[in-house]
Amino acid sequence: MLDYNRRPGFADHINTAIDAALVAENEATPPRDYLGGSRLGVACERALQFEFTATPKDDGAGFTGQTLRIFAIGHQLEDLAIQWLRAAGFDLYTRKGNRPDGEQFGFSVAGGRIRGHVDGIIAAGPQGFGFAVPALWECKTMNAKNWRACVKEGVAKSKPVYAAQIAVYQAYMEPQVPGIATNPALFTAINKDTAELHHELVPFDAGRAQTASDRAVRILQATDAGELLPRIATTRDFFECRFCPWAERCWRLPA
């Protein structure tokens, strides 16, 4: 009997087929036609402009099958975190009516050109916690190195993009959920390597929210005027440029 496990490249052949299917599915998904509120903490406004206008990425800069699998695992872990918090006594709403088929909580401003969807809203905490509600809940998954940095330094210092997302969501959700920008948000970070959990209360940072909102306005105005915003760096070897999916395109264009 043929032992398929001993065939050269057998596992790789299956993985290649899986990844090809994931990449094809991702490429068939229409790009966003709006600025995502979760992205407004990104430092480079030109990169955000490329993202907003669905500018083609450099060759080979798209998401690989492995990256898409990592994203999918992160979504599943966030679903588990919802179950765990509810079991601990948090009255956590992730969709309107708290129904699986309910509409996700979110906001849409600037004629729908800036949008965001929140992970959840906490309506009540466990007895004895003195938890101020309503409160925004945001959850992220991280590898062990990033998780440890988040625990040590806090989300605002270790992950400023996440901190900006929280501030923006608190600000833009306030008209729908009065008090959500007054009470601290609950940020949950999951260590993907060890399943350790970190929970942190994040007070509303009005300055951070305003900075992100101003950035969004500049991107919309520049795009409407057909102008290209300046890049973040003066040299191509800048850290963020080395990982940017539009680096080749960007550095062929004017500063």
- From CA 6, how far away is CA 157, in angstroms rounded? 48
Per cent of the chain over pLDDT 90 is 84
Structure tokens at 138: 């945001």
- From CA 167, how far away is CA 1, in angstroms rounded? 61
Could you tell me if 35 and 77 are in contact, meaning their C-beta atoms sit under 8 angstroms apart? no
Could you read off the pLDDT of 76-102 as tens digits, one per residue? 999 999 999 999 999 999 988 777 667
Q: Domain 74-227: which topology?
A: Lambda Exonuclease; Chain A (3.90.320)
Structure tokens at 189: 């970070």
Using DSSP bridges, classify how beta strands 114-117 and 91-93 pair: parallel, antiparallel or unpaired. unpaired
Domain extents in the chain: 74-227
The whole-model pTM stands at 0.91
Task: Give the SS3 label for residue 36.
Answer: strand
Structure tokens at 21: 């299917």
Encoded amino acid at 75, one letter: H
Positions of the chain with pLDDT under 70: 1-8, 100-101
- From CA 167, how far away is CA 144, in angstroms rounded? 25
